[in-house]
């Protein structure tokens, strides 16, 4: 996905766990994480 225009979106490293193992992906998270 393209970078969202709204500045409320934050780029985040998100951890994923599957039966094959663990890894991380870069996603956009909405809202604030206060």
Which parts of this chain interact with other proteins (CB under 8 A)? 1-2, 4, 6, 8-9, 12, 14-23, 25-34
How distant, in Å, are the alpha carbons of 6, 29, 33 from that of 20?
35, 25, 30
Q: How far is the CB of 23 from other proteins (least distance, A)?
A: 6
Q: How far is the CB of 10 from other proteins (least distance, A)?
A: 8
Q: How far is the CB of 11 from other proteins (least distance, A)?
A: 9
Please identify which residue in the block is written with the tokens 């996603």: 27
What is the distance between the alpha carbons of residues 25 and 7, in angstroms, rounded to a whole number? 20
């Amino acid at each position: 996905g393209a970078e969202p225009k709204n500045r409320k979106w934050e780029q985040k490293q998100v951890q994923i766990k599957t039966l094959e193992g663990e890894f991380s992906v870069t996603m956009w998270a909405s809202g604030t994480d206060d």
